[in-house]
Amino acid sequence: MYNDAFEEDDLVAEVELVAQARYSRNADLEDGFNDEVVVSQQPATVQIPDGVRNFILFFYRNVLENNVYELHNVYDTSFNKLTDKYYTKQSWPEAEIIARLVNNDEVFLTLYRELYYRHIYGRLTPTLEHRFRSYENYCDLFNYILNSEGPVNLELPNQWLWDIIDEFIYQFQSFSNYRDRLKSKSEEEIALLRDNPQIWSTYSVLNVLYSFIQKSRINEQLLVSKKGGDMMEAAGEYGARPLYKNLGYFSIIGLLRVNCLMGDFVLALKMMDNVVLNKKALFARVTACHVTAYYYVGFAYMMMRRYADAIKAFSNVLSFLQRTKPYHSRSYQSEQLARKSDQMYALLAMCIALCPTRLDENIHSQLREKFGEHISKMQKGEEGIPIFEELFQYACPKFISASGRLDGTPRADPYTIYMKTFVTDIRNQIKLPTLRSFMKLYTTMGVDKLAKFLEMDPEELKMQLLVFKQKSRQIKWVSGDLLDGEYLPTSDLDFCLKQDVVHIAESKVGRRYADWFLRNINRCEDIVASLEQRA
Amino acid sequence: MAASVERPQTIQTMIDGVERYNPENAEVLEEYLAGQCKNGEYDLMANLALLKLYQFNPQLSKIPVIINVLAKSLTAIPKPDYNLCMYLLTDYVDVDEVKRLTHLQQLLEQSRYAEFWNAFEKDKDLVKDIAGFEDAIRQVIALVVSMSFQTIAASVLESYFALKGDAFKQFCEKQQWQLNGTTVSIPINKDNEAKTVVVRESIKFEQLTKVIGYSNEM
């Protein structure tokens, strides 16, 4: 799964990766729109500011020409700058209004509508009608891409493709939560929902994602690539085109997310069967996708009690984010990324409290800064439970229920159930950190004596010891797919019971002098060599 | 995840890919589960697929089937299978049988084995479809015991397994534990050995070649 050994050179590669994704050298592009003044304006239409009108014309031209480079600028920078300038409190003009400007080009209008509804969801509050219309728009778009005769001649930037999938799932999530809050709805709205069960239904969402995967044959491509072959051989007619390949790939990550939202963590990880989680994977090119993938993988591991693997996943992506931080702060997504990053720190804090492991220095110091107090409280027994609840609530995804229930019968919120199950699990192990701290001090001790120190009944203590034994071993990933793993010890403390005496053994990691010296010797030599070259 | 049974190809196709969502497969998976119950086999992935179909099509769900799936997953402890099943069963948390099974699961997770057998007396009806349930649970407990103890009082073990006299002796023999009067000794395995280990770093020669190369240049 993780094929990286961190080396300093990789930092350069990572920075390039992130910087490339934002290849706008010309950040002042959109200002040019305001300079061109078009004199004639139809009196009967809504006033569209000139900047916006020119932007739309420019945008349309680039879609027609499949100019992915320019489209990326348009999408990433210009659209957001114009939104901030003109449309912070109201929606962009409806598609019908700008239709004349673009010769009523249906494909372009569908793409435009995607941005239009996304803006509404993002900055304003969508009404039921907006939700329905947006769903229909997505259906039109996906129909066009999937069911036209032969692959369509359209190219869009990767960032946009990921955002389409991401937003599609987000709107599905939003709709499911909305649908389940029946109390605040009018009879009319409930009737509308009941009459249209197929709109934003789980099956149709899954259908879209699976169709992309099948059409692009992305799983076959990834399998071939994993074995070292050429992806194009397995690609087929559709999969050879970047549009389909990327949509297929992002759909895999999309399915990872949807399955986690519905509580099927095992299937979620199974989706990632052919995706190798390292820096060179396709998802690394779009930062948001990269972060999403690791977040859900880590969360799924955590819910499967594979804390060691969860810690590894979170550390990996958090180091990446930290190293490339200066390059993110310029993107409009930086707020979302920061939030996801904080959530992952919270999850990491919980996992560390449950399965103490050595962490990379940078991550460790960030973690201590944000959640140091929480971690120490979580390890203090019963009083740590509310902290676990608080962090879980902050960091968990917004779960949804797979099937709607419109008949008004009371229904448990999936989030409450998951939280309860998670906390019950935690409660079974809550006394272990205290037990562990006592056991670290001795090599042998009678059960009765230890019980007295811990103020527990000896029988109770014996059970805690058995629980400790069980919890100190987890399924840990060694090789193969994400779901594989071996039952391995994960704690540095081990013990055995002989009658009523506990024998304790601690495993220590020797200090790694050699590795540190080797790395620094090499670095020093490189610096000296480059100095000599310049001389 | 590997199954502890040879999964037939038909079932494998059913749970791979889009077929997993086809509600018509529910019956086949239910039959497969019934087979698992009768033969003492266990297949987590197939059972989770069945629960997922119930999640999407609540009208298909059958409480007895759900109870069987949950009871089967108890035999997989210390793996988290029971929780994984519960995550797909959010609508059934308050069903009486589910609550009773969850209580049993908690007792097992907390290693309260004597209490477990007491509580189990009243709940035997929950597992009536599952052949060899008690033996499977005893295996679970035996696993934990053999990981943690080198010697243990026989009376304590008897309470852990709810076995006495001859039945107990036979069980110990099957586990290859030695019964010496009032204590039972468990052979040393890698888990109950409590040895101090110092993880030393091992440097391969190749890593040194670059450094040796530098010293050559001087």
Q: What does B173-191 look like in DSSP terms, one character per residue?
A: HHTT-EEETTEEE----SS
The residue written with tokens 């008004």 in the block is A408
The residue written with tokens 């071993």 in the block is A473
- B198, A506 contact by CB (below 8 A): no
Q: Give the pLDDT confidence of B120-131 residue by residue, as tens digits.
A: 988 888 888 888
**Average pLDDT estimate for A307-313:** 91
Give the SS3 label for residue B152.
strand
Q: How confident is the model at residue A35 (pLDDT cuts 50, 70, 90)?
A: very low
Residues 22 through 41 of chain B touching chain A, CB cutoff 8 Å: none
Instruction: Count CA within 13 A, CB hemisphere, residue A343.
Output: 20
Judged by CB atoms closer than 8 Å, whether chains meet at A203 and B56 is answered as yes
Least confident range of A26-35, A117-126, A145-154, A371-380:
A26-35
**Average pLDDT estimate for B165-170:** 85
Q: What are the DSSP E strand ranges found in chain B? A: 149-153, 178-180, 183-185, 198-199
Q: How confident is the model at residue A457 (pLDDT cuts 50, 70, 90)?
A: confident
**Average pLDDT estimate for A164-184:** 85
Read off φ and ψ for residue B171, nearest 5 degrees: -60, -45
**Average pLDDT estimate for A147-162:** 85
**Rounded to an integer, what distance in angstroms lies between the CA atom of residue B172 and that of residue B191?**
19
Degrees, nearest 5: CA angle A278-A281-A282:
155
CA distance B160 to chain A (A): 11
Contacts for A235-243 with beta carbons within 8 Å, 24 or more apart?
A: A237/A150, A237/A151, A238/A151, A239/A215, A241/A151, A242/A155, A243/A145, A243/A151, A243/A152, A243/A154, A243/A155, A243/A156, A243/A161
Question: Cα-atom radius of gyration of chain B, to the nearest Å?
Answer: 24
Task: Tell me the two tokens of residue B59.
Answer: 């009208």
Nearest-CA residue of chain B relative to A204? B21
Position A91, amino acid: S
pLDDT of B2: 42
pLDDT greater than 50 at residue A26:
no
CA distance B203 to chain A (A): 7
- How many A-B residue pairs are in contact by the CB < 8 A criterion? 149
Q: Is B59 on the interface with A (CB under 8 A)?
A: no
**Rounded to an integer, what distance in angstroms lies between the CA atom of residue A303 and that of residue A314?**
14
pLDDT greater than 70 at residue B4:
no
Q: Give the pLDDT confidence of A248-280 residue by residue, as tens digits.
A: 889 999 999 999 999 899 999 988 888 877 766
Q: State which H helix or E strand residue B7 sits in.
A: none
Q: How confident is the model at residue A331 (pLDDT cuts 50, 70, 90)?
A: low
**Rounded to an integer, what distance in angstroms lies between the CA atom of residue B137 and that of residue A360?**
40
**Average pLDDT estimate for B68-83:** 89
Position A393, amino acid: Q
Best to test chain B binding among A264, A306, A456, A487 (most B CBs inside 10 Å): A264
Q: Read out DSSP for A72-103?
A: HHIIIIIHHHHHHHH-SSSPPPPHHHHGGGGT
Burial of A364-396, coded b for 16+ CB within 10 Å and e otherwise, reads: eebbeebbeebbebbbeeeebeebbeebbeebb
Best to test chain B binding among A266, A270, A416, A472 (most B CBs inside 10 Å): A266
Judged by CB atoms closer than 8 Å, whether chains meet at A497 and B83 is answered as no
Judged by CB atoms closer than 8 Å, whether chains meet at A266 and B211 is answered as no
- B123, B96 contact by CB (below 8 A): no
- A411, A179 contact by CB (below 8 A): no
Task: Tell me the two tokens of residue A453.
Answer: 């120190």
Least confident range of A75-79, A425-429, B195-199:
B195-199
**Rounded to an integer, what distance in angstroms lies between the CA atom of residue A178 and that of residue A123?**
17
pLDDT of A80: 81
Q: What is the DSSP code (8-state) at residue A272?
A: G
Edge to edge, the sheet with strand A493-498 lists: A444-446, A501-506, A493-498, B149-153, B183-185, B178-180
Q: How confident is the model at residue A20 (pLDDT cuts 50, 70, 90)?
A: low
Omega before A93 within 30 of 0, i.e. cis = no
Nearest-CA residue of chain B relative to A424? B106
**Rounded to an integer, what distance in angstroms lies between the CA atom of residue B43 and that of residue A475?**
17
CA distance A430 to chain B (A): 11
pLDDT of A43: 38
- B46, B37 contact by CB (below 8 A): no
pLDDT of A280: 66
Q: Find the CB nearest B150 among A262, A303, A498.
A: A498
pLDDT of A5: 40
Q: Is B187 on the interface with A (CB under 8 A)?
A: no
Higher pLDDT, A233 or A165: A165
Q: pTM score, two decimals? A: 0.85
Q: How confident is the model at residue A127 (pLDDT cuts 50, 70, 90)?
A: confident
CA distance A424 to chain B (A): 9
For B17, other C-beta atoms within 10 Å of its C-beta total 12
**Average pLDDT estimate for A43-61:** 74
Q: How confident is the model at residue A10 (pLDDT cuts 50, 70, 90)?
A: low
CA distance B166 to chain A (A): 22
- Cα torsion A314, A320, A325, A328: sign: negative
Task: Tell me the two tokens of residue A240.
Answer: 């050879």
- All residues of chain A having their beta carbon less than 8 Å from the beta carbon of residue B107 are none
**Rounded to an integer, what distance in angstroms lies between the CA atom of residue A356 and that of residue A349?**
10
Q: Read out DSSP for A348-409?
A: HHHHHHHS-----HHHHHHHHHHHHHHHHHHTSSGGGHHHHHHHHHHHS-----SS---S--
- All residues of chain A having their beta carbon less than 8 Å from the beta carbon of residue B58 are 403, 405
A499 Cβ contact list (under 8 Å, min separation 6): B151, B152, B153, B183
Q: How confident is the model at residue A405 (pLDDT cuts 50, 70, 90)?
A: low
Read off φ and ψ for residue B3, nearest 5 degrees: -95, 155
Residues in chain A: 535
The residue written with tokens 């676990």 in the block is A388
